């Protein structure tokens, strides 16, 4: 009797789970395991895979020709967008939360980039950053600063791309910060006002500490996003990425242009380890700060 019931329950449970678990096995768990496995193989799609032990990883880390550390450094550079977009977003959300007249319009303006595809945005910014006719260089010229080849000078291209990423990425953070700010009860501010605390003091004493979970969430998601910037680099440099090449453009290049599947997989695993490491690091850092705040 009970055994029958358990069997029935099991069947019903897995019945509901079936379409889901098939997707999970085929497109998530399977690929994860397979990708780890082939990262130890040399496989260029046109020949049989050959087991090469850790050679892919060794080549990546130690051979100069792999330029891995250069791409790694570029990936890390793009992390600058995280604090920038969070700061702009916090400012924007704070202003919206003041509920001044016209806030509805400002909300539309600040939020809209979140629904835009990164490709047209990158094309538009590619024009803004154009060396000869770009808006940014025109602005700089009016300030007496010389022309910068934002997208062609390898020492500036990452900065140029980061500008565009911050412009678009801040919209997401603004929405999240705004929702969080709306959740802070007004009474807290009222009490603080009675105690004679001014706007500035309230911001650092009440708003910022209460936003800690939001900072954490946006820090992590922003970091994961920043380490996976691909579309803007692809569009703004017209191809492999020039001086902005990062780990993702390299995974793309090695995997889908040169078909070195083993090497590309190995590199994607290094990227994952990097993300994991930075997340744990950031989490430890924030939880420590929260304790002493």
Partner 1 sequence: MKRKAPTTLFLYALLLALSVWYVVPFVWALVTSLKHPGMVFDGRWIPYAQKRTITVNGEERELRIVEERGDTFLVRMSGTEELREVPRGEIEHVSPNWKNYVEAWNIVPFGRYFLNSLLVSLCMTLGQLVTCSLGGYAFSRLEFPGRDAIFLLYLATLMIPGPVLTVPIYLLLREYHLLNSYQGVILPGLFSAYGTFLLRQFFLTIPRDLEDAAQIDGAGKFGVYLRIILPLSGPALAALATFVFIGSWNDFFWPSIVLTDPGMLTLPVGLAHFNDIYLFEYGRLMAGSMISIAPAILMYLLFQRFITRGVVMTGLKG
Site for partner 1 in 120-149 (CB under 8 A): 120-121, 123-128, 130, 132-133, 135, 138
Which value, to the nearest 10 degrees, does the dihedral of the CA atoms of residues 187, 193, 194, 197 take? 130
For the chain, the first-to-last Cα distance in angstroms comes to 58
Structure tokens at 288: 């420590």
Residues 178-207 that bind partner 1 (CB under 8 A): 179, 189-190, 193, 199
Q: Does 28 bind partner 1 (CB under 8 A)?
A: yes
Nearer Cβ to partner 1 (80/197) = 197
Strand, coil or helix: what is 38?
helix
Residue from 109, 145, 208, 290 touching partner 1 (CB under 8 A): that is 109
Residues 64-93 that bind partner 1 (CB under 8 A): 88, 91-92
| Residue closer to partner 1 (CB basis): 69 or 256 | 256
Q: Is 114 in the site for partner 1 (CB under 8 A)?
A: yes
Contacts of 280 by beta carbon, 8 Å cutoff, 6+ apart? none
Kindly state whether residue 19 participates in binding partner 1, applying the rule CB under 8 A: yes
Q: Which residues of 84-93 are buried (b: 16+ CB within 10 A; e: fewer)?
A: bbbebbbebb
Token pair recorded at residue 284: 């430890």
Task: Give start and end residues of each alpha helix (H) in the chain.
Answer: 2-24, 30-38, 55-62, 68-77, 81-96, 103-111, 118-128, 135-142, 157-182, 186-194, 199-202, 208-210, 212-226, 231-236, 247-252, 261-292
* 213 lies in the binding site for partner 1 (CB under 8 A): no
Our finding on whether 24 is near partner 1 (CB under 8 A) is yes
Decide whether 119 or 290 has the Cβ nearer to partner 1: 119
Distance CA 11, CA 17 (A): 10
Binding to partner 1 (CB under 8 A) within 35-64 occurs at 35, 38, 45
| Interface stretch with partner 1, choices 52-60, 67-75, 150-158, 217-225 (CB under 8 A) | 217-225
Binder among 40, 59, 113, 153 for partner 1 (CB under 8 A): 113
Stretch that binds partner 1, among 54-62, 74-82, 203-211, 270-278 (CB under 8 A): 270-278
Alpha carbon separation from 164 to 55, 116, 143 (Å, rounded)? 37, 13, 21
Smallest gap, in angstroms, from Cβ of residue 107 to partner 1? 8
């Amino acid at each position: 009797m009970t055994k029958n019931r358990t069997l029935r329950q099991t069947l019903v449970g897995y019945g509901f789970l079936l379409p889901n678990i098939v997707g999970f096995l085929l497109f998530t768990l399977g690929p994860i395991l397979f990708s780890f496995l082939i990262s130890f193989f040399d496989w260029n799609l046109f020949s049989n895979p050959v087991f090469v032990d850790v050679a892919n990883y060794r080549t990546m880390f130690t051979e100069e020709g792999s330029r891995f550390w250069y791409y790694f450094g570029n990936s890390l550079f793009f992390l600058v967008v995280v604090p920038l977009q969070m700061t702009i977003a916090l400012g924007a959300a704070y202003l919206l939360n003041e509920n001044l007249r016209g806030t509805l319009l400002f909300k539309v303006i600040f939020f809209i980039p979140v629904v835009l595809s990164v490709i047209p945005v990158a094309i538009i910014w590619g024009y803004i950053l154009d060396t000869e006719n770009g808006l940014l260089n025109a602005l700089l010229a009016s300030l007496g600063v010389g022309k910068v080849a934002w997208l062609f000078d390898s020492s500036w291209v990452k900065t140029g791309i980061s500008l565009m990423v911050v412009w678009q990425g801040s919209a997401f953070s603004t929405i999240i910060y705004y929702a969080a700010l709306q959740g802070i009860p007004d009474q807290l501010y009222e009490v603080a006002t009675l105690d004679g605390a001014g706007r500035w003091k309230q911001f650092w004493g009440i708003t910022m500490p209460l936003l800690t979970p939001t900072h954490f969430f946006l820090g992590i998601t922003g970091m994961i996003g920043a380490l996976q910037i691909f579309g803007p680099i692809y569009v703004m440099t017209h191809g492999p990425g020039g001086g902005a090449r990062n780990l993702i453009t390299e995974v793309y290049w090695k995997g889908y242009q040169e078909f070195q599947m083993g090497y590309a997989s190995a590199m994607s695993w290094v990227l994952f380890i990097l993300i994991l490491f930075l997340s744990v690091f950031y989490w430890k850092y924030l939880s420590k700060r929260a304790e002493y705040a």
